[in-house]
Structure 1
Amino acid sequence: MKTNLRFFFLMNTFLSILLAVVLVTTGCTPKVVPVEGPQITMMVETNFTSSEYDAGSLLLWNIGQNTLQTSGTSVVHVIDLDNGGLPLYWQLSSPVRVVQQWNYLSKKPLITTISKDVNLLTLPEGMQYLSTKDSEIRRWYASDENAFVAVPLELDALLNETLDGKTLTITEQSISSGSKAQTLTVPVPSSLTQIVVVYGSGSINNGLVLVEAGDKVVKNMSDGIWLLRMSDGKATWIRCGNRDAFTEGFISGQWASFARVGSLLYFTHSHNGQIGCIDTAAALPSITLPENINTLLAKLYSNGPTNTEGPLQAQLASDNGTLIIEYPAANWNGGYDYAVDTSGTILGSLYVNKISIVSFDAKGKQGSSIPTPGSISFPSIDLFQ
């Protein structure tokens, strides 16, 4: 027993001396491990006039470190010729992709000046003013094919009839010079009386279309939400549920706001509505209402403006695997942008007004502040219009 105790004592002394040597050599200060977290990229919109602005620079929001950093480089000049707002559709890449002439109703350019850091995407000939005799169209950009995809906004059956025998034609046009357009013609489920396309993403070889549809045959069932999956030039319709499962559907009043995080498609619609979600990769996709995300949304509603003239809904965006929820401040002098992960955990937030952009961490501690006379614009994964 004495031998064991002596051995233990000697080993303990040796380890203590070794630890002291290490501390003397390296110092007592622990190594600083950088805080990891998603990084969100935005455009800072500056130099406003009554009809135009500059997306003056790219802004990097490091959520983990609670910092903001701007490049200070002028990116693109946008002019609002139709007095319909100041839209800017862009994708984060190198160089940044922005879209020229997005609104096919206008024959005038929206973007007037670009820098060397921008790749300007111009709609191919024949798609700039594309429409059908029955309706307008929905369009988006498919990065994997470097092509634009278009689909009719809606299809309607005659009174007391269904869309049995009708087809939905999806057109894909590569930006490459001289390339021919590809089409995918999809029969519409026969029981439907109307379909309205509300979102689209990807190509006809690997993409999806989300629609809200009226159903005549199925009794006691409100309008349905359908997902059209496209793969290798073939398409499959999958019913995801009823519009009652998601507030009032997508199309009553104002159009819904969408954001995609991987295979998860988030959407919200109308004042005091909830944020819904569909896992578009699931075998049997359905509408869910993420609890933590909607708890945050309810807080934004309760703390937001009360003197609204009409429905006021949150706006959704996404970047780097993070969902971003935008909502105006109560006094209308600014707005909040909350970054959350797919579990609904708040990662950080921004407060943006006409004077500055301020970052906050998940606990509300203030981080960086950048002066700016403008606002911010988040990237669009699909450039969906």
Structure 2
Amino acid sequence: MKTMTSRYCSRIVTFVSILLAVVLVTTGCTPKVVPVEGPQISMMVETNFTSSEYDAGALLLWNIGQSTLQTSGTSVVHVTDSDNGGLPLYWQPGSPVRVVQQWNYLSKKALITTISKDANLLTPPEGMQYLLTKDSAPIQRWYASDENAFVNVPEQPGLSNETPGTKTITITEQGVAPASKAQTLTVPVPSGLTQIDVVYGSGSITNGFVLVETRDKVAKNAADSLWLLRMNNGAGSWARCGDLSAFDGEIIAGQDPSFARVGSLLYFTHSHTRIGCIDTAATSPSVTLPENINTLLAKLYSNGPTNTEGPLQAQLASDNGVLIIEYPAANWNGGYDYAVDTSGTILGSLYGNKISIVSFDAKGKQGSSIPTPGSTSFPSIDLFQ
């Protein structure tokens, strides 16, 4: 009886399995393959140019996985810049997008106005508004999203003017209007450093960092070094990232370096020679040279313009966990934007000029294109200025 029962149950299971397979096929309930979207990158399209003004903020969405482009077609801000030759926009994607207000350095007149509810104009607190004036030393400023506050630090802290043995660097944080009470963090500077240039900042006094380039004038002809000043719950600590021997001894050489942060990874340029990277979350951070990224940079340099008066530097940006490397075309009539992951693998690219933008997939196959009467700008993850 046990043998017959077992055979009988086995036959039932087999029959049910066959019937289920037939039902799945006939009813169309086969598993569906969901296409991988891949990362999406936001850009702003700048339009309606005159000699000194333009509209901006029509959002352009680049779906890298599908190699498609889509634009909202509606501008969100108007920029007036009659004396400075066109300042870059500092903005973050979102709904609404965040755009930092800027001023004319001479007249202190506001240069940006909203023309759509899709933009939130961030106005730095008084005292942090002007990066450079006749009456004050330049500052570096960025936005801490979690705190809805701007953070600033002197670009070149005046260490030589302070009392020996008490050299410090002071970071100030203050909320966006209606402004909250300002907070400051004063941190002693490691001994032996006689010059500091602040080159990047991210986050808040509660959780953030400041990257500085330093020089020890005691050691003649020594390469500059990079240090991280880490901020944690109102306290600061220093970590040396190594010297800049691979970058001709310094990263500030005739032009400011370009930075982009992808998570804890901070990428930076120096001239046309290298793209460096620092893991700002590492216990012992160091400057590395990502091989695949620098191979791409060398290719862009070899195929780029040759009629340059000085070193031609790539520009970096990031969005949605992707590093973007911008470089001009050989004839200066357009430029390329390569999207790479943290391993340096090319995910896709764009070619843009004053007429259109064309997308390409990772293998160089052309995707979609859209007309663009003006230039484009990528977001700034920290709104660092």
Same fold (TM over 0.5): yes
Q: Secondary structure at the match of 1:294?
A: helix
2:56 maps to 1:23: no
User: Distance in 2 between the 1:129 and 1:256 partners?
Assistant: 21
- Say yes or no: does 1:181 pair with 2:208: no
Post-superposition shift, 1:310?
2.1
Q: Which moved more, 1:294-303 or 1:239-248?
A: 239-248
| Partner Cα distance (2:61, 2:164) in 1 | 48
- Report the aligned-residue RMSD: 2.9
Residues 166 and 98 of structure 1: CA distance in aligned 2, closer, same or farther (over 3 Å): same
1:81 Cα deviation from its structure 2 partner: 2.4
Asked if the contact 2:326–2:338 (Cα under 8 Å) also holds between the matched residues in 1, the reply is yes
Q: State the 1:21 CA deviation.
A: 5.5
**Which SS does the other structure have where 2:194 is aligned?**
strand
| Contact residue 43 and residue 378 of structure 2 kept, 8 A | yes
Name whichever of 105-114 and 144-153 sits farther off.
105-114
1:119 aligns with 2:120: yes
TM value normalised by structure 2: 0.90
5+ residue gaps, structure 1, are: 1-7
What does the per-residue CA deviation read over 1:193-220, in whole Å, with 9 as the maximum and x for residues that have no partner? 1000000111111111001101145687
Query: Counterparts of 1:186 and 1:102 in 2: how far apart (Å)?
Result: 30
Aligned to 2:271: 270
> CA distance change for structure 1 residues 343 and 380 in 2, over 3 Å: closer, same or farther?
same
CA distance 1:117–1:369, change in 2 (3 Å): same
Task: Kindly report which structure 2 residues correspond to 1:250-265, keeping only aligned pairs within 5 A, or say none.
Answer: 250-265=251-266
Task: Return the alpha-carbon distance in structure 1 between the equivalents of residues 197 and 357 of structure 2.
Answer: 38
Change (3 A) 1:363 1:16: farther
In 1, Cα distance between equivalents of 2:245 and 2:256: 16
Aligned partner of 1:298 in structure 2 is: 298
Deviation at 1:65, TM superposition (A): 1.1
> In structure 2, what is the Cα distance between the partners aligned to 1:63 and 1:245?
32
Residues 248, 269 of structure 1: 8 Å contact kept:
no
Q: Is the 8 A contact 2:52 2:85 kept in 1?
A: no
Task: Say if 1:261 and 1:283 are closer, same or farther in 2 by CA, change over 3 A.
Answer: same
- Aligned residue in 2 for 1:358: 358
What 5-or-longer segments of structure 2 have no aligned partner?
1-9
The 10-residue stretch of structure 1 (247-256 or 16-25) with the greater mean CA deviation from structure 2: 16-25
Is the Cα–Cα contact under 8 Å of residues 134 and 155 in structure 1 kept in the other structure?
A: no
The corresponding residue for 1:152 is: 154
Q: How many residues align?
A: 380
Give the CA deviation at 1:27: 8.6
Any runs of at least 4 consecutive aligned residues in structure 1 with deviations exceeding 6 A, and if so which?
10-18, 130-134
**CA distance, structure 1, for counterparts of residue 318 and residue 179 of structure 2:** 34
8 Å contact from structure 2 (residues 125, 179) kept in 1: no
Give the direction of change, closer, same or farther, for the CA distance of 1:216–1:248 in structure 2 (3 Å limit): closer
Question: Does the CA contact (< 8 Å) of 1:82 and 1:106 recur in 2?
Answer: no
Q: Does residue 373 in structure 1 map to residue 366 in structure 2?
A: no
Change (3 A) 1:356 1:170: same
Aligned-residue sequence identity (percent) comes to: 77
Q: How far did 1:257 drift? A: 0.1
Q: 1:314-353 counterparts in 2 under 5 A? A: 314-353=314-353
Match of 1:202 in 2: 203
